[in-house]
Amino acid sequence: MTRRLAVVAEKVGVSEATVSRVLNGKPGVSEATREAVLTALDVLGYERPTRLRGERARLVGLVVPELQNPIFPALAEVIGGALAQQGLTAVLCTSSTGLASEAAYVDLLLQQQVSGVIFAGGQYTEADAQHDHYRLLLQRKLPTVLVNAAVEGLGHPQVACDDGAAVEQAFGHLTALGHERIGLLLGPPDHVPSQRKLAGFAAASARVGRAVDPELIDNAMFSLESGQASMMRLLEHGVTGVICASDPLALGAIRAARRRGLHVPRDVSIIGYDDSMLMTCVDPALTTIRQPIEAMGKAAVDLLVHQVEGSKVRTAELLYEPELVVRSSTAPVTVPT
């Protein structure tokens, strides 16, 4: 703080006491000097105090990794609506491949003097990705919330669904249907939510006295095409049931099964994750794990608003319970005759 006062004072040609009066909203400073100090803050890259940001302070960055997976538009809708109820406006930033990076969006949002940032999925879930822009937000003390499981040590409040519990529910459902050759189709190996799902799979397997067979586990990118390719490999190892880390992966798995001449669910049962839009309309209707995105999105906004208002919030993760939604893509295992 002392360093900032000195740098701004030198830039404007006033005393540190004058800069301090401007930052704290104290009287005794001309309007011209006040504007000069605020302009210097912007030019030097310092964060304005929230009460001095004007109308731009009503903006909140909402960063999502993509819009092709229906769960992200749905989550953005929940968060945007909750922000609007608080008099805040979401600025949607999509960091899909080929578009602006997360770090570039963070720089842009800082320039726009937003009140805070909510990330709904992103590089913080990837252990091998760059995380410097999250640390920059922490250094700038800009209110920030992460939705989904994050790598350790980032220091921001987090809201997530219990990935381990989700897989345990799915595993229990398939086991109850008589399946023993249960596969697991995850995201990339460095993806923290996928790592948690794998831990849940191992715990569920141990409870029924089974060892985890590495041949029944495959990693994929989060796309229908990648899910199809991974499912082809799992089918070679005789899986009769597969738990997928997203609904698009599950749709890819169904396509792979059909390409092999198999029927879902008579020959192989498939479970998705998210319960994203239209999963009741696909054929067969997808059995999946529902994330409580309504509750998670509103919690993320509450955490952000508390920070914007100057309250301290805990950085411990808020973990929400998933729900198994049984539809038509799972059935009792077929016993060969």
Q: Give the torsion sign (CA, 68, 73, 76, 80).
A: positive
**Are 62 and 149 in the same domain?**
yes
The CATH number linked to 21 is: 1.10.260.40
Give yes or no for a contact between 284 and 328, defined as CB atoms under 8 angstroms apart. yes
CA dihedral 92, 93, 96, 102 (to 10 degrees): -150
- Cα angle 197-317-250, degrees, rounded to a multiple of 5: 30
Q: Is the confidence at residue 55, as pLDDT, over 70?
A: no
332 is a domain residue:
no
CA dihedral 140, 141, 146, 150 (to 10 degrees): 70
**In total, how many domains does the chain have?**
3
**Are 134 and 183 in the same domain?**
no
**Are 108 and 24 in the same domain?**
no
One-character DSSP codes across 53-122: SGGGGGEEEEEES-SSSTHHHHHHHHHHHHHHHTT-EEEEEE--TTS--HHHHHHHHHHTT-SEEEEESS
**Are 227 and 262 in the same domain?**
yes
Task: Give tens-digit pLDDT for 247-302.
Answer: 999 999 999 999 999 999 999 999 999 999 889 999 999 999 999 999 999 999 99
Task: Give tens-digit pLDDT for 5-23.
Answer: 788 888 888 888 888 888 8
91 is a domain residue:
yes
pLDDT of residue 337: 46
Range among 66-70, 237-241, 309-313 rated most confident:
237-241
78 is a domain residue:
yes
**Are 156 and 299 in the same domain?**
yes
Region of poorest pLDDT, from 44-53, 118-127, 321-330: 44-53
Q: Is the confidence at residue 127, as pLDDT, over 50?
A: yes
DSSP E strands in 130-255: the ranges are: 144-147, 158-161, 182-186, 217-219, 241-244
333 is a domain residue:
no
The CATH number linked to 256 is: 3.40.50.2300
**Are 313 and 263 in the same domain?**
no
80 is a domain residue:
yes
Give bridge partners of residue 271 from the DSSP assignment: 243, 287
- Helix H or strand E encompassing 38: helix 31-44
Give yes or no for a contact between 8 and 19, defined as CB atoms under 8 angstroms apart. yes
**Are 196 and 305 in the same domain?**
no
Q: Which of 273, 291, 309 is the last residue of a domain?
A: 291
- Structural domain harbouring 10: 2-46
Task: Give tens-digit pLDDT for 207-232.
Answer: 999 999 999 999 999 999 999 999 99
CA dihedral 117, 122, 124, 130 (to 10 degrees): -100
Q: Which of 46, 65, 82 is the last residue of a domain?
A: 46
pLDDT of residue 188: 96
